[in-house]
C-alpha cells in the first residue's frame, strides 16, 4: 500500500479576476522533508501556500493533510490540524513582546479558557513550561536577547526570525514558510539553514517559497518550479537548478 | 460627608463600567458604544425583578448580570469580521435599540417615567442602612470586577485577545478560537456592565431611561480612552478624573438645567482633546 | 400601504441627502464623520431663528441655514480634522473626535434652545395633496425633489467638472494628488463645506416637515451612516439607494406594529442591514490597506 502523502493537492484551480493564480496544480509532499517552491513573481507560489493554510478557498480541486480533506475548514481549524505558516509581509503581533508572540503560538493552552483565566487557576504551571519552550525557540533563531522587547521595536530581519520561532512553537507537523531566508542578515543565514534542517530531522515537512537560490540549493530536498499557476518542473535541486533551459526561462 | 460618600459611590460605579468596557475597547480592540445600553439592561432587570417579585438583593443582581450576559452575547454575534469604526457604528445602532426598548416597552419598564420603589441593597437579609456600608458594597464589587478583569487581561486568554486586536488573520493561523474568545469577552463585559446597572438602581431606588442614552455610552468610552485603553489602571483613572470634573462643575454655580448639557460638552471636548494628544493609537504609548 | 411607502420615500430622501455628504467626506477624508449630524441640527435651528425670530421668508432663512451649516463644517475641518490629519490620526481617532464634536454641538444647541421641541413649520399644516392614494405635503414633495436635484448635481459635479476630477484624485490617494500638484487640504476643506451644506439642507427640510429637537442630529447621524454603508459608501448612486432603502425599511418594517416597539425595531433593522452590508463591504476590500 502506498504511503499517504503528508500534504497533497489535486487539480487545484484559483482565479482572481482575470488572473489565473493556480491552474491545475497537483503536488504530493511527504515528511520529513524540505520542499522549496520557486518561480518568477506571480507564479502562484504564495497562493498555493494560502490554499494549503485555508486563507484561500480554491475554485476547484482539493488539498489534503495526511489524507484528510482541508477544504471547508477555517484557517484556525487548519492550523489546529497541524499546519503553521509565516507570511511574506512578515506578520507578528506588534504590541506583544517577542516572547509573548511565541507563547501565544503554543497549542492547547488551558489558560485560553475564560473560566480558568477568570479564576487565575490551572494554567500557571503550563505557562512556565510554555515560557521555557518559547525561550528556547527564540534562542534557536538568535533572538534570546530580545525576548522582552515589543515586536514593533525589532528590525525587519528580527521580525522575520521571530515569525520562525513562532511557527516552531506551534508544534505543527507542516510548516509553510513564505520567504524565510530573503532579507536575513548573512551572519544569521547559516544558523537559520541549520535550523530548517533540524526541524526536518525532527520529522516535519517544511514547504518554503524562496527566491534565494543558493539557499534553496543548500537546504531543499525537493524543488517545485512554478510559473503562471502551473507546476513546470519538480525534482532534486541539483537537477532542476542545473537545467539551463529552466533557469534561463524562469529564474533570471 | 454624605456628599463625599456619594461621589465615592459614583467613582466605584464608573470604575466598574470603564473596567468592563476596557475589556472590549482596550484589550480586544472592539470600539463599542453600546455600553450604556448594557448598563441600562442591568439596571432595569434588577428594577423589574425586585419590584415584581419577592427576591433578595443578591438574586436580583445575579439575574441582572445574566441579562447583561445574554444581551451582550447577542450583540457580539454579528461582531465577526467587523472592526474599528464599523463595529462602532453597529454598536451605535444596537445602543439605540436598547435605549428604545427601555423607553418604549412601557408595560415592563414604565416607559419614560421609569420604575420607582426599588429596594435598597441588602446583603444576606441585612439592609445596608448607612451610606458608608453602601459605599463599601460598591467598593468591594469594583474590587472584584477589577481583580477578575486583571486576571483575564494577564492570562493566556488575554494574550489571545491582544493578538486578535491587532491581526485577526495571524491569530487564526495560530489556531486560536478567535470568534469564541470575542463572544466570551463580550459576555463578560456585559455581565459587569449589568452589575453596575443593578447596583445603581438599588442605590438610587429609581431608574428612568435618560441615564442610558448613547451620550452616556460615549461618556464611558471617553473615560476609558482618557485613562488609556488596555492599561489595567487607566480606565479607573479615567473614571475618577471625569467624575471629579463633573462634580467640580457643580461648584461653580451653574443652574441645574444647564449643568447636564455643560457637563456633556466637557466630556465631548475631553474626547477631542485625548485624540489630539494620542492621535495614532488609542492605547497609551 | 401607499401612505407607508410615501412616508418611507420622504424619510429616505432625507437620509440620502445626509448620506451624500457623509459619503463625500468619507471617500476623500477616509473617516466616519460622526459630527455630520452637527451641520444637520445647526442648519435646522439657524433656519428656525431666521424664520421664526428674525422673520425672514422660508427660502431666505433656509439659505441662511445652509450657509451656517457650511460654515460650521469649515470650522470643524479647520479646528479639528485638519490638525488631526496632520498628526496622522488613525481612523478610529478621527471617528472619536467627530463623536466628541457631535456631543458638543448637540448639547450646545440644547443649551441655547432647550430640550423641548421647537416648530419651524411656517404655514399652517395643510392636508397635502393626494398622490396614488398617499397624502403628501408640499414640503415632502420638496424634500424628495431637493434630494434628487442635489444628488444629480453632486454626480455631475464629481464626474463632469474639473473640480470633481480633482476631488476624485484626492479621494483615490492624498499622496498621489500632491504629486500632481493638487492641494489635498484645500480640496478636503471644500468637500467638507459642500458636504456640510448638504447635511444642513437635509436638516432644514426635515425641520419644515417635523419638529426640531437637539437630539435630531444623532438620530439622523445613525440613519444617514446606515444609509451610506447599506448603499455602498462614497458613491452618489449608493447614497441615494441606501437612503431610500433605509427609509422604506424603517416605514414598512414597523407598519402595523404597536408604536412602542417601532423605534427599537427600526434600529434593529438598521443594525441588521449594517451587519450584512458592512461585512460585504469589508470583504470586497479584503487585503487592501489604506
ipTM here: 0.90
Establish if B76 touches chain C: CB-CB under 8 angstroms.
no
The whole-angstrom separation of Cα C41 and Cα C211 is 11
pLDDT in tens, B113-164: 889 888 888 877 677 778 888 899 999 999 999 999 999 999 999 999 999 9
Residue A121 has pLDDT above 80, yes or no: yes
In angstroms, what separates the C-alpha of C86 from chain B's closest C-alpha?
A: 10
- Is the pLDDT higher at B43 or at C136? B43
Scored b (16 or more CB within 10 A) or e, C123-138 reads eeeeeeeeeeebebbe
State the average pLDDT for chain B: 89
Least confident of B69-73, B105-109, C82-86: B105-109
Residue C288 has pLDDT above 60, yes or no: no
Contact residues, chain B, for C259 at CB < 8 Å:
104
Distance of CA B220 to the CA centre of its chain: 7
pLDDT in tens, B38-48: 999 999 999 99
Confidence of residue C182 (pLDDT cuts 50, 70, 90): confident
Domain boundaries, chain B: 2-210
Find the Cα–Cα–Cα–Cα dihedral A111, B143, B75, C22, rounded to 10°: -110
Closest residue, chain C, to B271 (C-alpha): C100
The whole-angstrom separation of Cα B254 and Cα B251 is 8
What sign has the CA pseudo-torsion C233, C235, C239, C245?
Answer: negative
Find the Cα–Cα–Cα–Cα dihedral C216, C280, C26, C219, rounded to 10°: 0
Residue A122 has pLDDT above 80, yes or no: yes
- What pLDDT is attached to residue B152? 92
Quote the percentage of chain B above a pLDDT of 90.
52
- What pLDDT is attached to residue B228? 86
pLDDT in tens, A148-175: 999 999 998 899 999 999 999 999 999 9
Quote the percentage of chain C above a pLDDT of 70.
91
The CATH number of residue C37's host domain is: 1.10.3470
State the average pLDDT for chain A: 90
CA separation (Å) from B232 to A123, B20, B245, B279?
Answer: 21, 11, 22, 21
Which helix (DSSP H) or strand (DSSP E) does residue C282 occupy?
A: helix C259-284
CA separation (Å) from B86 to A243, B21, B100, B224?
Answer: 53, 17, 21, 19
- Touching B: C residues 60-99, CB under 8 Å: 80, 83-84, 87-97, 99
Establish if B161 touches chain A: CB-CB under 8 angstroms.
no
The whole-angstrom separation of Cα C86 and Cα C76 is 14
Query: Under a CB-based contact definition with an 8 Å cutoff, are residues A135 and A143 in contact?
Result: no
Residue C282 has pLDDT above 60, yes or no: no
- Is the pLDDT higher at C127 or at A100? A100
Establish if C278 touches chain B: CB-CB under 8 angstroms.
yes
Which helix (DSSP H) or strand (DSSP E) does residue B67 occupy?
A: helix B57-76
Residue C285 lies in a domain: no
Q: What's the average model confidence in pLDDT over C105-134?
A: 76
Query: Under a CB-based contact definition with an 8 Å cutoff, are residues A210 and A184 in contact?
Result: no
Mutate which of B171, B174, B285 to disrupt the A interface (most A C-beta within 10 Å)?
A: B174
- What pLDDT is attached to residue B283? 53
* Domain count for chain C: 1
pLDDT in tens, C146-173: 888 888 888 888 888 888 888 888 888 8
Tell me if the bond preceding A32 is cis, omega within 30° of 0. Answer: yes
Scored b (16 or more CB within 10 A) or e, B246-275 reads bbeeeeeeeeeeeebbbbbbbbbebbbebb
DSSP β-ladder status, A222-227 and A33-38: parallel
Mutate which of B28, B145, B151, B159 to disrupt the A interface (most A C-beta within 10 Å)?
A: B159
Distance of CA A156 to the CA centre of its chain: 18
A168: left (phi > 0), else alpha (psi -120 to 50), else beta? Answer: alpha
Residue C202 lies in a domain: yes
Q: Which residues pair with A227 in a beta bridge?
A: A230
pLDDT in tens, C220-267: 888 888 888 888 777 888 888 888 888 888 888 777 777 777 778 878
Q: Which residues pair with A223 in a beta bridge?
A: A36, A235
DSSP β-ladder status, A174-178 and A205-209: parallel
Instruction: Look up the domain containing C193 and give its range.
Output: 2-276
Confidence of residue A77 (pLDDT cuts 50, 70, 90): very high
- What pLDDT is attached to residue B255? 74
The whole-angstrom separation of Cα A31 and Cα C207 is 72
Amino acid at each position: 500500500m502506498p504511503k499517504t502523502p503528508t500534504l497533497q493537492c489535486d487539480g487545484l484551480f484559483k482565479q482572481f479576476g482575470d488572473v489565473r493564480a493556480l491552474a491545475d496544480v497537483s503536488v504530493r509532499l511527504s515528511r520529513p522533508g524540505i520542499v522549496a517552491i520557486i518561480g518568477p513573481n506571480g507564479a502562484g507560489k504564495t497562493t498555493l501556500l494560502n490554499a494549503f493554510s485555508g486563507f484561500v478557498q480554491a475554485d476547484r480541486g482539493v488539498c489534503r493533510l495526511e489524507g484528510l480533506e482541508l477544504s471547508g475548514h477555517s484557517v484556525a481549524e487548519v492550523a489546529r490540524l497541524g499546519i503553521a505558516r509565516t507570511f511574506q509581509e512578515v506578520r507578528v503581533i506588534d504590541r506583544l513582546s517577542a516572547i509573548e508572540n511565541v507563547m501565544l503560538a503554543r497549542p492547547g493552552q488551558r489558560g485560553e479558557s475564560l473560566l480558568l483565566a477568570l479564576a487565575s487557576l490551572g494554567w500557571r504551571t503550563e505557562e512556565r513550561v510554555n515560557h521555557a519552550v518559547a525561550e528556547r525557540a527564540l534562542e534557536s533563531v538568535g533572538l534570546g536577547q530580545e525576548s522582552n522587547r515589543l515586536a514593533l521595536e525589532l528590525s525587519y530581519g528580527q521580525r522575520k526570525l521571530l515569525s520562525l520561532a513562532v511557527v516552531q512553537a506551534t508544534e505543527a507537523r507542516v510548516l509553510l514558510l513564505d520567504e524565510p531566508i530573503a532579507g536575513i542578515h548573512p551572519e544569521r543565514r547559516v544558523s537559520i539553514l541549520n535550523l530548517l534542517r533540524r526541524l526536518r530531522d525532527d520529522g516535519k515537512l517544511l514547504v518554503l517559497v524562496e527566491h534565494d537560490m543558493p539557499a534553496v540549493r543548500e537546504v531543499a530536498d525537493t524543488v517545485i518550479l512554478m510559473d503562471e499557476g502551473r507546476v513546470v518542473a519538480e525534482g532534486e535541486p541539483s537537477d532542476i537548478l542545473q537545467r539551463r533551459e529552466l533557469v534561463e526561462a524562469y529564474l533570471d | 460627608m454624605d456628599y463625599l460618600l456619594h461621589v465615592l459611590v459614583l467613582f466605584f460605579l464608573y470604575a466598574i463600567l470603564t473596567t468592563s468596557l476596557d475589556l472590549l475597547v482596550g484589550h480586544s480592540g472592539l470600539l463599542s458604544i453600546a455600553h450604556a445600553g448594557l448598563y441600562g439592561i442591568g439596571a432595569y432587570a434588577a428594577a423589574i425583578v425586585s419590584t415584581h417579585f419577592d427576591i433578595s438583593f443578591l438574586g436580583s443582581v445575579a439575574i441582572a448580570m445574566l441579562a447583561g450576559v445574554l444581551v451582550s452575547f447577542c450583540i457580539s454575534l454579528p461582531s465577526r469580521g467587523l472592526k474599528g469604526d464599523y463595529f462602532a457604528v453597529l454598536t451605535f445602532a444596537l445602543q439605540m435599540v436598547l435605549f428604545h426598548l427601555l423607553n418604549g416597552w412601557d408595560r415592563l419598564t414604565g416607559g419614560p417615567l421609569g420604575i420607582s420603589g426599588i429596594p435598597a441593597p441588602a446583603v444576606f437579609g441585612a439592609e445596608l442602612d448607612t451610606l458608608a456600608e453602601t459605599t463599601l458594597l460598591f467598593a468591594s464589587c469594583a474590587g472584584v470586577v477589577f481583580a477578575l478583569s486583571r486576571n483575564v487581561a494577564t492570562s493566556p486568554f488575554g494574550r489571545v485577545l491582544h493578538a486578535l486586536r491587532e491581526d485577526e488573520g495571524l491569530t487564526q493561523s495560530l489556531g486560536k478560537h478567535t470568534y469564541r474568545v470575542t463572544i466570551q469577552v463580550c459576555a463578560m463585559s456585559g455581565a459587569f456592565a449589568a452589575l453596575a446597572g443593578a447596583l445603581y438602581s438599588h442605590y438610587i431606588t429609581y431608574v428612568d431611561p435618560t441615564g442610558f442614552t448613547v451620550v452616556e455610552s460615549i461618556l464611558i468610552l471617553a473615560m476609558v480612552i482618557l485613562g488609556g485603553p488596555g492599561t489595567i489602571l487607566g480606565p479607573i483613572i479615567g473614571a475618577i478624573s471625569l467624575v471629579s470634573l463633573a462634580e467640580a462643575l457643580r461648584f461653580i454655580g451653574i443652574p441645574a438645567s444647564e449643568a447636564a448639557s455643560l457637563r456633556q460638552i466637557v466630556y465631548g471636548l475631553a474626547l477631542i482633546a485625548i485624540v489630539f494628544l494620542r492621535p495614532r493609537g488609542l492605547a497609551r504609548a | 400601504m401607499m401612505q407607508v411607502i410615501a412616508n418611507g420615500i420622504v424619510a429616505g430622501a432625507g437620509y440620502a441627502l445626509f448620506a451624500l455628504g457623509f459619503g463625500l467626506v468619507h471617500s476623500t477624508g477616509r473617516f466616519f464623520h460622526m459630527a455630520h449630524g452637527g451641520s444637520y441640527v445647526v442648519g435646522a435651528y439657524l433656519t428656525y431663528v431666521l424664520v421664526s425670530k428674525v422673520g425672514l421668508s422660508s427660502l431666505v432663512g433656509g439659505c441662511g441655514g445652509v450657509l451656517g451649516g457650511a460654515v460650521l463644517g469649515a470650522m470643524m475641518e479647520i479646528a479639528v480634522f485638519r490638525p488631526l490629519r496632520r498628526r496622522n490620526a488613525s481612523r478610529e481617532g478621527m471617528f472619536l473626535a467627530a463623536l466628541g464634536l457631535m456631543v458638543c454641538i448637540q448639547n450646545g444647541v440644547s443649551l441655547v434652545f432647550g430640550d423641548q421641541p421647537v416648530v419651524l413649520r411656517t404655514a399652517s399644516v395643510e392636508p397635502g395633496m393626494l398622490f396614488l392614494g398617499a397624502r403628501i405635503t408640499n414640503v415632502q414633495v420638496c424634500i424628495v425633489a431637493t434630494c434628487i436635484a442635489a444628488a444629480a448635481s453632486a454626480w455631475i459635479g464629481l464626474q463632469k467638472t474639473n473640480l470633481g476630477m480633482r476631488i476624485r484624485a484626492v479621494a483615490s490617494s492624498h499622496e498621489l494628488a500632491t504629486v500632481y500638484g493638487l492641494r489635498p487640504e484645500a480640496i478636503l476643506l471644500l468637500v467638507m463645506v459642500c458636504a456640510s451644506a448638504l447635511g444642513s439642507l437635509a436638516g432644514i427640510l426635515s425641520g419644515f416637515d417635523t419638529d426640531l429637537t437637539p437630539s435630531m442630529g444623532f438620530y439622523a447621524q445613525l440613519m444617514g451612516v446606515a444609509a451610506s454603508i447599506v448603499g455602498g459608501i462614497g458613491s452618489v448612486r449608493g447614497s441615494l439607494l441606501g437612503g431610500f432603502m433605509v427609509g422604506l425599511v424603517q416605514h414598512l418594517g414597523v407598519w402595523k406594529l404597536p408604536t412602542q416597539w417601532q423605534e427599537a425595531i427600526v434600529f434593529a433593522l438598521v443594525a441588521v442591514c449594517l451587519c450584512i452590508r458592512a461585512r460585504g463591504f469589508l470583504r470586497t476590500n479584503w487585503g487592501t490597506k489604506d
